[in-house]
Amino acid sequence: MRTWLNGLILASMMWAQGAAAETVLVVGDSISAAFGLEIEQGWVSLLEKRLARQDESHDVVNASISGDTTAGGLSRLPRLLTEHDPDVVVLELGGNDGLRGQPPLQMKQNLAAMIERSRDSGAEVVLLGMRMPPNLGARYTEAYAEAFDSLAEEADVAYVPFFLEGVGGVPGLMQRDGVHPTAQAQERLLDNAWEALEPLL
Helix intervals (H) in the chain: 2-18, 43-54, 70-84, 95-99, 104-120, 138-155, 186-197
pLDDT digits (tens, 9 = 90+) for 154-184: 999 999 999 999 999 899 999 999 899 999 9
Cα Rg of the chain (Å, integer): 19
End-to-end CA distance of the chain: 39
**The model's pTM:** 0.89
The answer for residues whose C-beta is within 8 angstroms of residue 143's C-beta and 6 or more apart is 104
Please choose, from the candidates 148, 92, 89, 96, the residue with its C-alpha nearest in 3D space to the C-alpha of residue 115. Answer: 89
Domain of residue 82, residue span:
23-200
Torsion (CA) 135, 141, 145, 151 in degrees, nearest 10 = -130
Tell me if residue 84 is catalytic: no
- Active-site residue among 149, 156, 177, 191? 177
Does residue 52 belong to any structural domain of this protein? yes
Does residue 12 belong to any structural domain of this protein? no
- Active-site residue among 29, 30, 32, 121? 30
Does residue 44 belong to any structural domain of this protein? yes
- Residue 36 to residue 42: CA distance in whole angstroms: 10
Question: CB atoms < 10 A from the CB of 19, how many?
Answer: 9
Does residue 190 belong to any structural domain of this protein? yes
Local confidence band at 20 (pLDDT 50, 70, 90 cut-offs): low
How many structural domains compose the chain? 1
- Active-site residue among 32, 58, 64, 180? 180
Local confidence band at 18 (pLDDT 50, 70, 90 cut-offs): very low
Local confidence band at 55 (pLDDT 50, 70, 90 cut-offs): confident
More confident of the two residues 145 and 9 = 145
Contact call for residues 95 and 57 (beta carbons, < 8 A) = no
Does residue 132 belong to any structural domain of this protein? yes
Does residue 15 belong to any structural domain of this protein? no
Does residue 29 belong to any structural domain of this protein? yes
pLDDT digits (tens, 9 = 90+) for 66-106: 999 999 999 999 999 999 999 999 999 999 999 999 999 99
Give the CATH number for residue 33.
3.40.50.1110
Tell me if residue 180 is catalytic: yes
Q: What is the mean pLDDT of residues 43-64?
A: 93
Buried b (16+ CB within 10 A) or exposed e, 76-96: ebeebbeebebbbbbbbbbbb
Judged by DSSP in three states, 92 sits in strand
